[in-house]
Structure 1
Amino acid sequence: MRRYLSLLLVALGAAGATVASYALSAWWWCAAGPLLALTGLGCRDLVQRRDAVLRAHPLAGRLGGGRAVVRERAGDVDVYADGHEFLVPSLRPVEPPEEPPVVRVGGPDCRQPYDMALLNVSAMSLGALSPRAVLALGRGARLGRFAQDTGEGGLSEYHLRGGADLVWEIGTGYFGCRTDDGGFDAREFADKAALPEVRCVSLKLSQGAAPGGGGELPGVKVSAAVARERGVPAGETVVSPPRHRVFSTPRELVLFLARMRELAGGKPVGFKLCVGSRREFLALCRAMVAEGVTPDFVVVDGAEGGTGAAPAPSAGRLGVPLTEGLITVHNALVGAGLRERIRIGASGRVATGPDIVARLVQGADYTNAARAMMLALGCVEARRCHTGTCPAGVTTQDPLRARALDVDDRSRRVHHYQRATVRDAVRIMAAMGVPEPGGLTPAHLVRRTGPTTVRSYAELYEWLEPGALLAGPPESWAADWKAADPDGFS
C-alpha cells in the first residue's frame, strides 16, 4: 500500500485545505486548489492504461524513481570500431513478400508439423512472470500468429487462456507432468500434450541465464496459483535439479525425445541448451545417427541471454555466446548429415530486425525473444524480478502490483512489436537481394576485424559440408568427433 501513500497524503491534504477554506479563511484555497489538482492527476494515473509505472505508483511515478529509460540511437554506433558487424546489401534488391515467411518444424518422424514464425516469445514461466504478463504475451502471440514458449514452470491456465500456439517446455523439475517424487509422469504429459493449444514440446537441458544449474524461483514469488501449477508448497523457494532423471547418456536422451514425440501424438519435439562442450553436442549427433532418431528442432540459448533475473555470478560467464553456439550446432548437424531434418531456433539478445537476419545467417531458422517481449509488456528494467516488487506488474505475483499491467493494451503492444520487427527483417533481406531466409549465406554478414580490414562470416568461420564428419572429419573437428561418445557425456 505504500505505493499509494503519496496520492493518499495529497488527497487528505486537499480535503483538509478545502474544509479549512470554508471554516477558517478563503486563503486556504491557495493550498486546496493545487492539492485538488494533484489529487485529480493521481486518480487519472490510477485508472489510465498506457503507463504501468504510473498505474502502480500514482503521482510518485512521475518523479522518475525506478524508471529506466532505454535509448537506441544510430549515431551511438561506431561503425569503425573493431568487432562492428553489418549486413551486406545488394545492387539488385528484390521486393519483400506480402506475407512474412514461416518455418516448417517437423522432421520425418513428426506427424503434426508446425509453421513457426521468424520471431516468437521465448521461454518465460508463470512465477517468473505475473499471470497478467503471461496472459498478455499469449494474447499478443495469438493476434500475431506466433508461438509462446511456456518456460519450465508448467503449462499454466494463463498460458492456455491466452490462446496462443504454445511450445510446452519441460525442465528438470517436470512441472506440469511431475510424479509425487519429482519424476516424469508420462500419462499426465500425454494428456496435456494432446491439448490443441500445445503445438510443440521442448525439453530444456540448460539455458543461457544459468547453464549447468537448475532454475530457481524465490519463495516470495511462489503464490498459491504458482504452487498449484508446479505441484509444490506455496511460499517456499523452488530449485529445479541441475540435470534430468530420465536419462544419463546422449543415447538415452535421444530415445527419450522419441518417446516424448510418441506420447505427444507426433507433435514436434526438440530440446533447448546453452552450448558448452562441442564434444558433448557431437556425442548427441553420434547418438542420433546410431539410433536413426532426431528431434524436430534444437533451440540454442546464448550465454548472454536472460531477462535480468539470473544469478549475477553465472549470467554471461558460463556457456558459449549465441553466435558461437549457433555456428557450432549448425556445423555439427550439417557435418553429421542431420541438418535437413532439424530446425534451429536462436534465443538470446534478439530484439531487432537486423538481429533476426544476423541469427539466420549464423545458422538459425527462427528466433525467440524474452527481454524484448518484456519491454513490450512495459518492463522498466528496475531489476527487481527476483524480489516480487516489479513496479510495472511484469514479474510480480502480488495482485495489487500486477494490476499495473493492462492486459488488453500490452497484448496489442506485443503483437505490434513482433509484427514490426519481423517486417524490418523481411525488408532487410529484400534489400540484400534475398527473397526468403533460405537464400542467406555466411557471406551476407561482415565484421570489422581491424582499422582497415573487414571479413565476412564465410571467411571468419569454418563451415562444414553435408556429411563431412561421417565421411572423414576435417582436422579441426577430428579429435572432438573421435572422442564423442553416444553412451556418455564427457
Structure 2
Amino acid sequence: MIAPEIQQYFIERSTDGRPFSRNQRSLVYQRAKNIDSSTPFGTQQNLNHDSYEGIKHSIFPATVNEELPRVLVGGKDCKQPYLASLFNVSAMSFGSLSENAVRAINIGAKKGNFYQNTGEGGLTEFHLAGGGDITWQIGTGYFGCRDAEGNFSPEKFSEKANLPNVKMIEIKLSQGAKPGHGGVLPAAKNTEQIAKIRGVEPHTMILSPPGHRAFSDIKGLIHFIAQLRQLSNGKPIGFKLCIGNTAEFEAICHEMISEDIYPDFITIDGAEGGTGAAPLEFADGVGMPFEPALIFVNKTLIGLNIRDKIRIIGSGKIISGYSILHAIALGADMCNSARGFMFSLGCIQALRCHNNECPTGVATQNKMLMKGLVVTDKSDRVYHFHKNTLHSANELLAAAGKKSFADVDSNIFMRGDEFGNLSDSYFPDILTNVTKR
C-alpha cells in the first residue's frame, strides 16, 4: 500500500495531513537535525478564524533562560523524589517500537537528562542499555512483573523497581488511543524475543485486559499505589488515564483524601493519542480530548485543595514549545510526547505502525526494516529535538513576559473568537456618527 506516500509527496499541502500536518512534522525533523527551523514569508494559518489561538506577548519581554526547566516529583510519602525534565518521552513499548528505536531514545534521554517511559510492554535490556532515566509503566498485563498465571508479582516488581535507572513507576489505567479497551500487540510484531520478555506465546496477538486484576475498585487502586511505593522503597508512584466518566475521577480524589494516600503524579492522556494499535471505534469515539481533560483534572484537584500534593503530566500531541506552554497554561506541571519523538527518529507518518511494515524501522520488528534506523545517528536526533523544543518553550515564556513556567496560566493566551467582539467593545453604535476626513 503506497497511498500514504502518494498523499504526502504529491497531494498534501503544508497545512494538511492528519494526525500531524506537514508543517508540524517538518518542525520536528528540523529540530531533530539541529538545523534552522524558522519559516519564511509569514504564517500559513488563518489568523482571523475563530479557531486561532495565540500568546499575548509583552512589550517588556523577560530574558530567555538558557537552562532547560525541571520539575521535582514526589509527595509527602515519597522517599526518593525525582527532578524530572519539563519534557519527556511518553509511554511506548518495546514491541510497538523496534529494538533500535528504544535504544536510540534511551541514549538520547541519557544525553539530554530526561526520562523515557517504557510503556506497558515491560522494562527490557534495551531500556537500560543507554543509561537513561526510566519511568516504568505497569499495565493490566503486568509484563515484567507477573507470575505464571499472569497476576501481579510483588517480588518481580520489587526486583526491577529498585534498579537505579528506574526513577518513577506509572500505573496505566487507560490510554488515549483506546481507552477502556486494553493494550493490543498484533501477532506479526510478537516475536520470540518479545514473547520471552512478556511471558506469553510468540506469534499470537497479545491483548492486555481492559482492567486490572491487582485491584477491582477505587479503594484497591489507592492501596495499590501505597503497595508499589513500599515495594520500590519510596520512589514516585503515579497513574495514567484518559478521562471518561468524570464522576469516577472525582471519587478517586475523594478516596485519596479519605485514606490520606496520594499519587505523586497523574498523567492525563488525551483521546487524540495514537501510538497504539486500536479499533477505529475506540480511536474515534471513546474518551475525552486532551484540553478539556487537563482543565477538568486541574480544577478538580484545586477544588478539593489537593493540587499541591500531586504533579500533573500532560500527554496529547505535544511536539513544540508552543504546545508545551499551552499544556502548562491549562494545568500541567510537565509534558510527555510519544509521536514527537517518533518523528525525531525518522517516522514519516506512513500509518503502518500496526502491521509490522514501518518503512523507517521505528515501529516494526522486521530486522531488514530495522537496519534503516541507525542508533548512534538517531539518538543524537532525539537529544536535539528535546533540547531545541524546550529552548523554544523558554523563548515563548520570555516573550510573554514570564520568568518561570510556574507563572503561566490561561490568561497569556488569546483566541480568535474573542476578536469578533472587539468592534462592539471598542467601537459601539456611535460609529455611525463618525465622519471621514
> Of 313, 321, 325, which aligns to 2:293?
325
State how far apart, in whole Å, the 2-side matches of 1:220 and 1:260 are: 33
Q: Shift in Å at residue 76 of structure 1?
A: 2.3
Give the residue type in structure 2 aligned to 1:191: E
* Deviation for aligned residue 1:260: 0.5
Q: Which secondary structure state, in structure 1, belongs to the residue aligned with residue 129 of structure 2?
A: helix
2:224 maps to which residue?
A: 256
The 5-angstrom pairing of residues 287-326 of structure 1 reads: 287-307=255-275, 309-326=277-294
Which structure 2 segments of 5+ residues have no match? 25-38, 423-437
**What per-residue deviation string (whole Å, max 9, x for no partner) do you get for residues 356-380 of structure 1?**
0000000000000011100100011
CA–CA distance in structure 1, aligned partners of residues 247 and 276 of structure 2: 30
Alignment of 1:134-149 (within 5 A): 134-149=102-117
1:240, CA displacement in angstroms?
0.4
| 1:311 Cα deviation after fit | 2.8
Q: Who is 2:353 aligned against?
A: 385
SS, match of residue 283 in structure 2? coil
- For residue 70 of structure 1, what is the aligned residue in structure 2? 22
- In the TM superposition, residue 144 of structure 1 has moved relative to its aligned partner by 0.4
Name the residue aligned to 1:411.
Answer: 379
Instruction: Give the secondary structure class of the aligned counterpart of 1:75.
Output: coil
Preserved CA contact (<8 Å) 2:96 2:276: no
In the alignment, the residues of structure 1 paired with residue 192 and residue 221 of structure 2 have an alpha-carbon distance, to the nearest angstrom, of: 33
Report the TM-score when normalising by structure 1. 0.78
Consecutive aligned runs of 4 or more in structure 1 exceeding 4 Å deviation: none
Q: Determine the structure 1 residue equivalent to 2:428.
A: none
User: What is the deviation of 1:85?
Assistant: 1.2
Equivalent position to 1:154, from 102, 109, 122 = 122
Query: What is the CA-CA distance between 1:451 and the residue it aligns to?
Result: 5.7
Counterparts of 1:220 and 1:235, CA distance in 2: 6
Letter in 2 for 1:158: F
Residues 147-156 or 300-309, more deviating: 300-309
The structure-2 alpha-carbon separation of the partners of 1:153 and 1:431, relative to structure 1 and needing over 3 Å to count, comes to same
Retained in 1: the 8 A contact 2:115–2:133?
yes
**2:247 matches 1:276:** no
The higher relative CO (CA closer than 8 Å, separation ≥ 6) is in 2
**C-alpha contact (below 8 Å) 1:194/1:264 kept by paired residues:** yes
1:436 and 2:404 are equivalent in the alignment? yes
Q: Distance in 2 between matches of 1:330 and 1:411?
A: 34
Q: 1:286-341: CA deviations, max 9, x gaps?
A: 00000001000000000012237433222142111111111111111111111111
* 1-structure distance, mates of 2:46, 2:279: 31
After superposition, residues 434-473 of structure 1 pair within 5 angstroms as 434-449=402-417, 452-453=420-421
Question: Is the Cα–Cα contact under 8 Å of residues 142 and 152 in structure 2 kept in the other structure?
Answer: yes
Residues in 2 aligned to 1:407 and 1:141: alpha-carbon distance in whole angstroms: 13
* Match in the other structure for 1:228: 196
The alpha-carbon deviation at position 346 of structure 1 amounts to 0.4
Letter in 2 for 1:138: N
1:437-487 CA deviation, whole Å, 9 max, x = no partner? Answer: 111122112222266148xxxxxxxxxxxxxxxxxxxxxxxxxxxxxxxxx
**CA RMSD across the alignment:** 2.0
What does residue range 34-45 of structure 1 map to in structure 2 within 5 Å?
none
Aligned to 1:96: 64
How many matched pairs? 394
* Counterpart Cα distance in 2 of 1:204 and 1:152: 7
CA contact (8 A) 2:183 2:276 kept: no
Residue in structure 2 matched with residue 106 of structure 1 by the alignment: 74
Q: CA shift at 1:114, angstroms?
A: 0.5
Structure 1 stretches lacking a partner, 5+ long: 1-59, 455-490
CA contact (8 A) 1:87 1:358 kept: no
Residues 214-268 of structure 1, C-alpha deviations (whole Å, 9 max, x = no match): 0100111001111111111111110000100111221211111011011011000
Q: Give 1:262's aligned amino acid.
A: Q
1:411-461: per-residue Cα shift (whole Å, max 9, x none)?
00010001000000011101111111111122112222266148xxxxxxx
Q: Take 2:284 and 2:44, find their aligned partners in 1: how far apart are those partners? A: 24
Q: CA separation in 2, counterparts of 1:401 and 1:166?
A: 26
- Asked if the contact 2:66–2:391 (Cα under 8 Å) also holds between the matched residues in 1, the reply is no
Which of residues 207, 211, 218 in structure 1 aligns to 2:175? Answer: 207
Q: Which residue of 2 aligns with 1:488?
A: none
> Which residue number in structure 2 is paired with residue 29 of structure 1?
none
Residue 304 of structure 1 aligns with an amino acid whose one-letter code is E
Contact 1:309–1:383 under 8 Å retained in 2: no
Q: Which amino acid aligns with 1:452?
A: G
